[in-house]
């Protein structure tokens, strides 16, 4: 029974194929127009997909703001202010990537100054606050607490010359 069914399908397929071969030549002009129409439709579909992809990308990146000073911010905005995740590029070469609140670095983030110093850690209202790490171009490296941008609380400073100071810090000064 299965073999007979398969033979019937094959025979029907052959009949359709023969019909199309015999009469298909009469419709070549129409086929060419159909191909052109299909290419136009395909082009419009691809164009609309690419537009939606660009829109989705721009929304995921956020807004871009260019300042007269040459600085540039890319990220989330709220009420015209940097709020949420974003990146700031200063004209002097410094940049920050992390969280923002009302145009201030706030939360976790990384700052690289034009001089080469880097800080990675917590920020509050644009200043290093909480745990973080700082490295200087001379090779010194600190890991520990910060308050208002200064070394404060428990932390360790590794000097480039090999000396290590571990303990408490107050206003950038080691407290023995």
37 to 31, 32, 42, 43, 88: CA distances (angstroms): 10, 9, 9, 10, 48
pLDDT at 8: 52
pLDDT at 99: 98
* Residue 85 and residue 52 share a domain: no
Dihedral over alpha carbons 43, 45, 48, 54 (to 10 degrees): -80
Rounded CA separation 123/82 (Å): 14
Instruction: Note whether residue 25 is domain-resident.
Output: yes
Rounded CA separation 59/53 (Å): 10
pLDDT at 98: 98
150 to 55, 130, 145, 169: CA distances (angstroms): 42, 10, 8, 9
| Whole-angstrom Cα Rg for the chain | 33
User: What is the tens place of the pLDDT at every residue in 131-172?
Assistant: 999 999 999 999 999 999 999 999 999 999 999 999 999 999
Rounded CA separation 95/118 (Å): 10
Q: Any idea what the CATH number is for the domain that residue 110 is in?
A: 2.20.110.10
What whole-number percentage of the chain has pLDDT above 70?
A: 65
What is the pTM for the complete model shown?
0.64
Question: Does residue 13 have a pLDDT over 70?
Answer: no
Q: Name the phi and psi angles at 106, rounded to 5.
A: -155, 120
Instruction: Note whether residue 81 is domain-resident.
Output: yes
* Residue 87 and residue 9 share a domain: no
Average pLDDT on 106-130 reads: 98
* Residue 146 and residue 112 share a domain: yes
Instruction: Note whether residue 50 is domain-resident.
Output: yes
| Domain count for the chain | 2
User: What is the tens place of the pLDDT at every residue in 25-46?
Assistant: 554 545 555 555 555 544 445 4
Average pLDDT on 7-18 reads: 54
* Residue 83 and residue 56 share a domain: no
Q: Tokens 């029974």 appear where?
A: 1
pLDDT at 32: 55
Strands, E assignment, 13-161 = 63-66, 72-78, 81-89, 95-101, 104-112, 118-124, 127-135, 141-147, 150-158
User: What is the tens place of the pLDDT at every residue in 42-101?
Assistant: 444 544 444 333 333 333 357 899 999 999 999 999 998 999 999 999 999 999 999 999
* Residue 110 and residue 25 share a domain: no
pLDDT at 52: 39
pLDDT at 46: 46
Instruction: Print the domain residue range for 48.
Output: 2-60
Q: What is the mean pLDDT of the chain?
A: 80
pLDDT at 176: 84
């Amino acid at each position: 029974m299965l073999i007979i069914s398969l033979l019937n399908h094959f025979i029907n397929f052959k009949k359709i194929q023969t019909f199309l071969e015999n009469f298909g030549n009469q419709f070549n002009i129409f086929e060419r127009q159909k191909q052109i129409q299909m290419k136009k439709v395909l082009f419009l579909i691809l164009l609309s997909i690419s537009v939606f992809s660009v829109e989705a990308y721009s929304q995921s990146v956020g807004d871009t703001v260019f300042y007269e000073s040459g600085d540039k911010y890319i990220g989330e905005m709220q009420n015209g202010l940097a709020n949420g995740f974003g990146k700031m590029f200063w004209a002097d070469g410094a940049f920050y990537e992390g969280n923002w609140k009302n145009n201030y670095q706030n939360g976790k983030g990384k700052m690289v100054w034009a001089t080469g110093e880097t800080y990675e850690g917590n920020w509050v209202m644009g200043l290093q606050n909480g745990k973080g790490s700082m490295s200087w171009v001379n090779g010194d490296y600190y890991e520990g607490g910060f308050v208002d941008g200064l070394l404060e609380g428990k932390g360790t400073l590794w000097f480039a010359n090999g000396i290590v100071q571990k303990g408490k810090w107050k206003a950038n000064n080691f407290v023995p």
